[in-house]
Amino acid sequence: MSASLARTLRGAKLARTLRGARRLSTAARLPLRPFEVERFDGWNSVITGAEGELSSLTSSEAEPLSLSGLLQMADDEGRRRWMDLSLGYPDQPGSSYLRDEIGKLYESAPTLNVCSPAEGIFLAMTALLEPGDHVVATSPCYQSLTEVARSVGAQITPWTPEGMEKPRFDPERLRELVEPGRTRLVVTNFPHNPTGALPSADEWDDVVAICDGAGAHLFHDEMYRGLEHGNAPSLLPACDLTKRGITLGGLSKTYGLPGLRIGWLASRDAALMARVTELKDYTSITPPAPSEALAFVALRAREKIIAAQRKRLAIGLEATKAFFDDPEVSRHLEWSEPSAGTFCLPRLKGGAKAAEYCDALLKRTGLMLLPSTLFEGAGDDRVRLTYARDGQVEKLARWRADLVANGVS
Taking a C-beta distance cutoff of 8 angstroms, is the pair 138, 189 a contact?
Answer: yes
Residue 240, CA distances (Å) to 96, 189, 204, 235, 306 in order: 20, 16, 13, 11, 21
**Domains of the chain and CATH, by start:** 3-30+84-302 (3.40.640.10), 37-65+303-406 (3.90.1150.10)
Q: Is the pLDDT of residue 368 over 60?
A: yes
pLDDT of 277: 97
Using pLDDT thresholds of 50, 70 and 90, give the confidence band for residue 41.
confident
Using pLDDT thresholds of 50, 70 and 90, give the confidence band for residue 298.
very high
pLDDT of 48: 61
pLDDT of 380: 97
Per-residue pLDDT tens over the stretch 211-259: 999 999 999 999 999 999 999 999 999 999 999 999 999 999 999 999 9
CA dihedral for 62, 221, 204, 152, sign (positive or negative): positive
Residue type, 33: R
Per-residue pLDDT tens over the stretch 276-289: 999 999 999 999 99
C-alpha–C-alpha distance, residues 233 and 299, integer Å: 19
pLDDT of 50: 53
- Terminal-residue alpha carbon distance, the chain: 59
pLDDT of 134: 98
* Mean local confidence (pLDDT), 69-86: 98
* Mean local confidence (pLDDT), 69-91: 97
pLDDT of 27: 57
* Mean local confidence (pLDDT), 369-389: 96
pLDDT of 26: 46
pLDDT of 324: 98
pLDDT of 284: 97
Helix (H) or strand (E) holding 38: helix 36-39
pLDDT of 29: 85
Using pLDDT thresholds of 50, 70 and 90, give the confidence band for residue 408.
very high
Using pLDDT thresholds of 50, 70 and 90, give the confidence band for residue 52.
low
Strands 111-115 and 263-267: antiparallel
What share of the chain has pLDDT > 90, as a percent? 88
pLDDT of 43: 75
CA-atom Rg of the chain in angstroms: 21
Using pLDDT thresholds of 50, 70 and 90, give the confidence band for residue 149.
very high
The 3-class SS string of 195-256 reads: CCCCCCHHHHHHHHHHHHHHCCEEEEECCCCCCECCCCCCCCCHHHHCCCEEEEEECCCCCC
Q: Is the pLDDT of residue 130 over 90?
A: yes
The dihedrals phi and psi of 163, each to the nearest 5 degrees, come to 75, 165
Q: Is the pLDDT of residue 302 over 60?
A: yes
More confident: 39 or 252: 252
* Mean local confidence (pLDDT), 72-80: 98
Q: Tell me whether the omega of the peptide bond preceding residue 140 falls within 30 degrees of 0, making it cis.
A: yes
What does the mean pLDDT of the chain come to? Answer: 92
What share of the chain has pLDDT > 70, as a percent? 91
Q: Is the pLDDT of residue 25 over 50?
A: no
Q: How far is C-alpha 233 from the chain's CA centre?
A: 18
